[in-house]
Amino acid sequence: EIVIVPDPAAAGELIAAAITDLLTDKPDALLGVATGSTPLPIYQSLAARVGDGRLDASRARICQLDEYVGLPAGHPESYRSVVLREVVEPLGLTEESFLGPDGNAADIAAAATAYDRALAEAGGVDLQLLGIGTDGHIGFNEPCSSLSSRTRIKTLTRQTREDNARFFDSLDEVPHHVITQGIGTILEARHLVLLATGEAKAEAVALAVEGPLAAAVPASALQLHPHATVVVDEAAASKLK
Ligand code: F6R
């Protein structure tokens, strides 16, 4: 399903309303969150709903999609820090309701496998929010990632490191490696909601939605999912046929 909305604020409201419905039906739902700029309007709308009583998120559980490898614990741009700051704290939740991979583990491969297991033991993800990279990545499954991949370490492309350099003082500070849920892991969530806003995402959205299923465009894997919703603003929709 593709939903075209006028702007990022409208997208945030629409998706926050869907999350509100989910938490009304299932108060302890496991909500998979993405980081980056795109989902911020969703988190702002969720926090506003908690603030004025339209949403009771007190039993919600939150899990991360991906994490940088090797940033010092507590680094403000580690995705753990970002999710705590943007989602967990504004919703009035605590770290106990939060699952994420350990990007500082001595054995990263084991930490990745352990995270996949933890998600399964938590009952699986009810709704996974996704952004899309300008190169078509979801999570940090860069082009040509296996469509059945599990959570593992990946190397970021130069393009993704450049796209993310805005969060750091310089490109050199952007980590080269991440732990990311695999495409196979992401596809196990019961509902996938991908949000893309802005002209820079238009090409990737068109390839993902209207192009063939291809590992070269990891977001095209959503075509395999029985319940996937792609929400785009008019700018991100501008290259759809
Ligand atoms: C972030 C993630 C990435 C981003 C994507 C878009 O957790 O997994 O796939 O969703 O890089 O980032 P923004 O929204 O900053 O354009």
Q: What's the CA gap between 202 and 150, in Å, rounded?
A: 27
Would you place residue 237 in the very low, low, confident or very high pLDDT band (cuts 50, 70, 90)? very high
| Pocket of ligand 1 contains residue 149 by CB under 6 Å | no
Look at the alpha carbons of 137, 140, 142, 147 in this order and tell me if their dihedral is positive or negative: negative
For residues 201 and 236, the answer to whether their CB atoms sit within 8 Å is: yes
Residue 38's pLDDT is 98
Residue 131, pLDDT > 90, answer yes
| Residues in the chain, total | 241
Determine the average pLDDT of the residues in 120-127. Answer: 98
Would you please indicate which residues are annotated as catalytic (active-site) residues?
Answer: 66, 135, 137, 142
Residue 104: its pLDDT value, please?
A: 95
Name the one residue in this structure whose structure tokens are 């849920």: 181
What is the spatial distance between Cα 26 and Cα 137, in angstroms, rounded to a whole number?
Answer: 30
Mean pLDDT of 106-118: 97
pLDDT per residue over 57-92, tens digit each? 999 999 999 999 999 989 999 999 999 999 999 999
Q: Where are the beta strands (DSSP E) in the chain?
A: 2-5, 30-33, 61-64, 66-68, 98-99, 127-130, 152-155, 177-180, 191-196, 228-233
30 C-alpha to ligand 1 centroid (Å): 20
Could you tell me the residue ranges of all domains in the chain?
2-233
Task: For ligand 1, say whether the CB of 78 is within 6 Å of any of its atoms.
Answer: no
Stretch 93-119: mean pLDDT: 96
Fold of 2-233: Rossmann fold (3.40.50)
Predicted complex ipTM = 0.98
DSSP, res 141? B
pLDDT, tens digit, for every residue of 155-213?
999 999 999 999 999 999 999 999 999 999 999 999 999 999 999 999 999 999 999 99
pTM above 0.95, yes or no: yes
Of 238, 226, 191, nearest to 18 by C-alpha is 191
